Amino acid sequence: DYELCEEWGHLYPVPREDLINLHREHLLHLLEMGDMEKALQLLQRIEDPGVCLAISEQSLDQHPNLAASHFLADYLTAHFYASLTTARRNEIQALYIGSKMLLTLPELSRGNYFHLSSRPLLMLEQLLMNMKVDWVAVAVQTLHQLLAGQEIGFTVEDIDSLLSKYAEKALNFPFTLKEKRS
């Protein structure tokens, strides 16, 4: 049905907003089906870059599943980086990095942290508070690789500071140790 509507749009004038809505729904459908190749082909068929940007951004704002969010954040960064405001760029890159972090977690646990996908530092802090040290190690390694040369609102120093803060709390004893005398 989407393809038929798309053909109809080539034959008859369709208002820009309706065209954007059609392509957005088609794109979200393809992404939910897991067909990233067809989703990419759909975006490449759209001739107007402004329409393509609007479709991609609106689709991302619908908070689709993890794989779809990752795909859209990557696509927007790769194709429309210069067209985005600095704040929006940081938001999309944070979502990309957060989704990449989520993909390092065990599949059954991803749902517990999905709501934090656009806030990677907060996700890292949540993992630390939940004592998921092994997961944190993999997530920090991923963050260090992804942050190389990028500005997204936080730095490697912020990550190190967060880790130091929780390491200090882990070593903080609320009572004094008394020496035992024999």
The residue ranges of every structural domain in the chain are 1-84, 86-171
Cα(124)–Cα(23) distance, integer angstroms: 35
Give, as one character, the DSSP assignment of residue 14: -
Determine contact, residues 105/141, Cβ cutoff 8 Å. no
Give the confidence band of 90 by pLDDT, cuts at 50, 70, 90: confident
Instruction: Kindly report the pTM of this predicted structure.
Output: 0.75
Residue type, 174: P
Confidence check: pLDDT of 173 > 90 = no
* Neighbour-count burial of 175, counting CB atoms closer than 10 A to its CB (0-12 exposed, 13-18 middle, 19+ buried): exposed
More confident residue, 34 or 167: 34
In sequence order, which ranges of the chain are alpha helices (DSSP H)?
2-11, 16-32, 36-45, 49-61, 66-80, 86-104, 110-113, 120-129, 133-147, 156-171
Confidence check: pLDDT of 182 > 60 = no
Tens digit of each residue's pLDDT (9 = 90 or more) over 127-163: 988 888 888 888 888 888 877 766 667 777 888 888 8
